[in-house]
Structure 1
Amino acid sequence: MYYPDEILEQVRAGNDIVDVVGSYVHLKKQGANYFGLCPFHNEKSPSFSVSADKQIFYCFGCGAGGNVITFLMKYENYSFQEAVKALAERAGIRLPEAEYGEEAKKREQHRRELFDINREAATYYYRMLRSPRGAAGMRYLEGRGLTAETIHRFGLGFADGSGSDLVAFLRKKGFPDDSILESGVAAYDEKRGLHDKFWNRVMFPIMDVNSRVIGFGGRVMGDGKPKYLNSPETPIFDKGRNLYGLHLAKRSRTEQFILCEGYMDVIAMHQAGFPQAVASLGTAFTSGQASILKRYAKEILLSYDSDEAGMRAALRNNGILREAALRSRVLDLRPYKDPDEFMKNLGADEFRKRIDAAENSFFYELRMLERNFAMDDPAGRTDFCREAAKRLGVFEDEIERDNYIEAVAARYFIDKGSLRRMVGSYTEAGELIRAPERPKPAAPRKKEGGITPETRAQAWLLTWMAEDRAVFAQVSRYIRPEDFAEGIPRTVAERFYADPKPGSIAAIISVFPEESEQNRAATLFNSRFELPEGRENQEKALHDVVLSVKQSSGRRRAAELAGDPNALQEIIRSKKELEELKTAVFCIDTEKGREQDG
């Protein structure tokens, strides 16, 4: 897929990356860059960086990086063309028809094929539910109180699985076996070959925000295990960045969404007149999902099961929502276990009353905390007050924290001044509890290609030159693009030397078609290094890095030319340049100096 470079530059220039990423991720300015929690892996401490100067993002935790187009592709699971179109529309830019290169055409066709397979599978399940073979599924859904309209709206279906009929159906449609397997609707083993993944299950199609089927959840009929079976993650289905029912909930035009635990809870909510209900997809709620919700709502109501597991989930997810700068409250469903049961027994009007009475998430956390203390005993009550004071550390804004100190003091009959002093003492001692229990972070993805001392030095140098034009002017007298390792480092260097402005870096990222390549390119401009104190030491550090890159280049070139009788002059020239560099002097303006951890 191809757009002229000038059009892509116009799209990038019309969409400031801080504004675009900031609409998905809660960002805070730190020094020259903005930082937030990475939407591409779970983490507690912000390692996701966005550079306004370079117009790129980079996560120091998982290695994800790129420009504003890359971000939208990763976050929304868009193709390149879809991301460019969305950004062009956002900036009011009219696009010409895109031309396709061969590789881009193959990637786009493969994505379309996976979407098509999922759509055809959804159609197959939908029809199966309405056939005699789907009678058990229809009885189950009607027994749960779902109307024909609701079953239709959510595209519910049934997987019979007899004889792997879905696989046969998809083959007849012309889809190849490897794509059917990759789509997640089929499985493979030596005994049965390619066969239907789902059987004897009511099927819940999972759609992305653009109403495209990306996966399925299946509820078994009877007592089979597992009770719910979900599609695996695929190139078009990322469980941590999608929410069940969002394609419908986004049309509700309300700033208050309801977050449920399961598919049936969402469906029951919609049927009862609460179309703003959504649910996570069989996994723990993630910061990425919180960022998605932030696009559509300002407040989230947690409608979780009233059992112990549901209460733990509410505590955990309140923290995730708070970190995404979303207000949250917790619904009390007692005496019923879940929203579906509540709606059947008490109805929509009573549920609206529960919404109005929903508990502030912080006070919910304190109420759960109370259970650990003997509140009628002075010692137990004192211990509770201390823990409450520590938890007030979740509010970084001074005014907000002050308001909560007053509210907590009033609710628990604590002297306001005493509580404020207690919070202050914990602040000074660094003992504030910044967040409630969180899910363990997913292991960061292994960075592509590995980091060697040679590539680390090259990344340091490129980052340094990109952030200080005076450094580039001096270094470029000694280091040329061909001194960088072949492949991505050299391509990046060639492009950067041709246009050494921070704003050109976003365009350099776009040169690489593969996501892994863009991540590696972004790494080269986001190297973390710590400058020593003082101008003289910093200048020595720059000299050492430049010398290291030049020496590595000389060794590579000598190995390449070994045995070539015509290469003597080039080897002599290279050694002479290296000797000159050893005595070179670099000057650094310490006012522009930078320091990074790591």
Structure 2
Amino acid sequence: MASGQGNIPEEVIESVLARHDIVDTVGKVVQLSKQGKYLWGLCPFHSEKTPSFTVTPDRGVFHCFGCGMGGNAIKFRMETEGLSFPEAVRIMAEESDIPVPEGKGGLMSPPDPERDRLIQAYEWSAKFYHYLLKNTEHGTAAMEYLRARNFSDKMIDQFQIGYAPDRWDTLVQFLEKRNFDPAEMEKGGLLSARGEGKGYVDRFRGRVIFPIANRTGKVIAFAGRILGEGQPKYLNSPESRLFNKSRILYNLHQSKASIRKTRQIVLFEGYGDVISAWEAGVHNGVATMGTSLTDGHVGLMKSLADEIVLAYDGDKAGQAAAVKAIPMLEEHGLKVKVALLPSGLDPDDFISKHGADRFMEQVMSSAVSSIKFKLIYLKKNHILLEEDGKIAYVKEALEVIATLHSSTEREVYLREIATELELSYDSLKQDCNLLRASLQKNIPEGDNNDKRWNNGRHKKGQVQTPVLLPAYHAAERRLLSLMIQDPEAATYVNDRLGEEFNIDDHAAIAAYLYAYYAQGKPPGISRFLSSLQDDRLEKTATSISMMDTPPDWSTQVLDDCIREVRRYPMQRKMDQKREEMIQAEKSGDFLRAAQIASEIITLERQ
């Protein structure tokens, strides 16, 4: 039997949810801390300083009290990785070796015409730009630029590099001839609006185009590099329903096979680095597309690999970015190495200057541990020939080494420093141990001290002030909460109330619940969420499932709630009648006012 999400077999969805624990799934992206029956962390879907994002292991759902986002493990992967429901199910099934039937009865997307049109527009636009680069005079200068950077024709084809001519309407005309709605294309990031009512222009003009694909290989955005001088040097597609740059890694669709084999990812800063390194033999390389590393990126990498090699630029900015990225990666349990490049060179430059073999031998094969890199980085900031410089470096180096849990690792690095600076190993060891003792004493109070999101605001026992809902609203939520937990409660409510909920979303959820149980399915919010086809309903249902409603119920409890739900429309009608009566009295129509008063009395008796 197929689910409500397209033609996806129920057994595939159930197996995916059974194999992908909600805590493990979310924990790859969010740092979680246990408090009572919930796990708390900083929400990955909106910016916050105090955690309001929760995971409930026994129910298999996540929910943010701040932005309202919620759902099961499949929904979390959809939102963090920009996937459709079928794409998320297929990827999660592959990760757990769950067979996925193809063709009839396989994974078919639920209808989403706007998304499908946008993906088709990007696919066609990518082919169009690629054609213009390789086969027209428009692309001549761009081809010369790419060949000067040692991009071979094979790489240009494999990465579908293209060129957007320096004209205002090249893509506008191309898309209009194929009956794409310009307003939709502007919303999706392909075009720009001239101004209200003044039409549309190409977003990318006079730029080399690098198509950006999601992990299933569908083009969802572009990055354009300007030819010659000008700002910005790189221009990305804007964020859209397809593209969120904080959750997308460039080239993941091509590199994931190699990543799966090696359990290692090489992380670059730019598109050119990835492409040049691919030709040099690095087939597990991805890039963050000019944006800083985010928790979304880290969570995505954590789901695929155990080790990350940072291959950032050799300049100060690149090295500073590596220093910033290391703790983010290590806090997610990833092992980190750093590929060292000469100052001023990025991987693309190094390969162009020294060749692929030397890059693989001197850079990739010689990557150092994160601690070693930090010590090298610190050393550059001090003049070691001067006493003050030597002392300052040792102080900073000890602060790094003291954080290591392994005494063997500490000894290795301390002996290196002792030999290099001609210092006493015993003295360094003693200072390091004193520093470790001091660090242990200074751990602040809080609920999750070893996690970077703990900022001192979120103390134990801190509870958010609950919002007081109207009586009918609270009654509807309580009914749905009990119905989600117990099919018999749903049957009782269906017989007496049906879909006569006052809030449209509640009525829709009730209808889905009745249909869900009619198919003989067992209770459980995680499985029920997969039968819904609306983001807003998923958020509402998840929020309701988080209520502390005891699973035990009596007909009296249900009847009281049903009475409150039915009372609300009567109450509204009485309020309207009272307003009408006041207006009749003000206008001097006392006979009409008396008639309305009689109607109010009848409603009150009902």
| Cα distance per residue 1:168-216 (max 9 Å; x no partner) | 1111122222222233121111386211111111111111111111111
1:93 to partner: Cα distance: 5.9
Alignment partner, residue 144 of structure 1 = 149
Map 1:85-234; keep pairs closer than 5 Å. 85-86=90-91, 91-92=98-99, 94=101, 97=104, 105=111, 107=112, 109-130=113-134, 131-190=136-195, 193-234=199-240
Q: Tell me how far apart the structure 2 counterparts of residues 58 and 513 of structure 1 sit (CA, whole Å).
A: 18
The 10-residue stretch of structure 1 (33-42 or 305-314) with the greater mean CA deviation from structure 2: 33-42
Answer yes or no: is 1:526 the counterpart of 2:531. Answer: no
> What does 1:165-564 align with in structure 2 at a 5 Å threshold?
165-190=170-195, 193-252=199-258, 253-351=261-359, 352-369=361-378, 376-377=387-388, 380=392, 383-384=395-396, 387-388=399-400, 392=403, 400=405, 402=407, 404-412=409-417, 413=425, 415-416=428-429, 419-430=432-443, 453-454=469-470, 486-489=503-506, 492=509, 503-510=523-530, 512-526=532-546, 556-562=568-574, 563=577
Contact 1:249/1:277 (<8 A) preserved = yes
Question: Cα offset for 1:246?
Answer: 1.3
For residue 355 of structure 2, give the secondary structure of its aligned residue in structure 1: helix
| 8 Å CA contact 1:11, 1:88 repeated in 2 | yes
- Deviation of 1:467 after TM superposition, in Å, equals 11
Report if the CA contact (8 A) 1:459-1:523 is conserved. no
Pick the structure with greater CA Rg.
2
Separation in 2, partners of 1:148, 1:554: 71
Letter in 1 for 2:99: G
Residues 2 and 100 of structure 1 are in contact (CA less than 8 Å); yes or no, is this contact kept in structure 2?
Answer: no
* Aligned residue number for residue 596 of structure 1: none
The C-alpha deviation readout for 1:226-277, integer Å capped at 9, x for no partner, is: 1111111121112111111112211323322211111111111112121222
**SS in structure 2 of the partner of residue 384 of structure 1:** helix
Q: TM-score, normalised by structure 2?
A: 0.74
Residue of structure 1 equivalent to 2:582: none
160-169 or 195-204, larger mean C-alpha shift: 160-169
Instruction: Classify 1:216/1:196 alpha carbon distance in 2 versus 1 (closer, same or farther; 3 Å).
Output: same
Alignment check: 8 A CA contact 2:42 2:453 kept: no
1: CA distance, partners of 2:498 / 2:415: 66
Partner residue of 2:3? Answer: 3
Partners of 1:482 and 1:164 lie apart in 2 by 51
CA gap of 1:289–1:559, structure 2 versus 1, over 3 A, is same
Q: d(CA) in 1 for partners of 2:453 and 2:60? A: 34
Opposite residue 3 of structure 2, the aligned amino acid is: Y
What CA distance in whole angstroms lies between the structure 1 residues aligned with 2:362 and 2:222? 33
Q: Could you tell me which runs of 5 or more consecutive residues in structure 1 were left unpaired when the two chains were aligned.
A: 439-449, 530-537, 539-544, 574-598
Q: Distance in 2 between matches of 1:129 and 1:347?
A: 26
Please report how far the alpha carbon of residue 86 of structure 1 lies from its aligned counterpart in structure 2 after TM superposition: 4.9
Deviation per CA, 1:372-409: give whole Å up to 9, x if none: 678734863674366437x72xx7xxxx4555544454
- Cα displacement string for residues 13-34 of structure 1 (whole angstroms, at most 9, x for unaligned residues): 3123672553574276735455
Q: Structure 2 CA distance, aligned partners of 1:465 and 1:425?
A: 52
CA distance 1:495–1:356, shift in 2 (3 Å): same
CA distance 1:365–1:45, change in 2 (3 Å): farther
Aligned equivalent of 1:582: none
1:16 aligns with 2:22: no
Q: 1:460, 1:528 within 8 Å by CA — same for their partners in 2?
A: no
Residues of 1 paired with 2:57 and 2:416: CA distance? 44
How many Å apart are 1:158 and its aligned residue? 0.7
Q: How many residues align?
A: 533
Do the aligned partners of 2:268 and 2:287 also contact (CA within 8 Å) in 1?
yes
Q: Kindly provide the CA deviation profile for residues 342-385 of structure 1, in whole angstroms up to 9, marking residues without a partner as x.
A: 11222223223322322222332344345667873486367436
Per-residue deviation, residues 549-578 of structure 1 (Å, max 9, x unmatched): 8998687345234149789788568xxxxx
Q: Report the secondary structure of 1:210's partner residue.
A: coil
Q: 1:508 to 1:59 in 2, by over 3 A?
A: same
Q: Distance in 1 between matches of 2:244 and 2:529?
A: 23
Deviations 1:76-102 (A, max 9, x none): 43333444555566533658946999x
Q: Distance between the aligned counterparts of 1:20 and 1:95, measured in 2?
A: 25
CA distance in 2, matches of 1:407, 1:435: 27
Q: Which moved more, 1:253-262 or 1:194-203?
A: 253-262
Judge which range, 83-92 or 182-191, deviates more: 83-92
Sequence identity, in percent? 30
Amino acid at match of 2:133: L
2:583 aligns to what?
none
> What is the SS of the residue equivalent to 1:69?
helix
Give the aligned CA root-mean-square deviation in angstroms.
Answer: 4.6
State the secondary structure of the residue aligned to 1:162. coil
User: How high is the TM-score relative to the length of structure 1?
Assistant: 0.74
**How much does 1:487 deviate?**
3.0
SS at match of 2:262: coil
Q: Are 2:55 and 2:61, in contact at CA under 8 Å, matched by a contact in 1?
A: yes
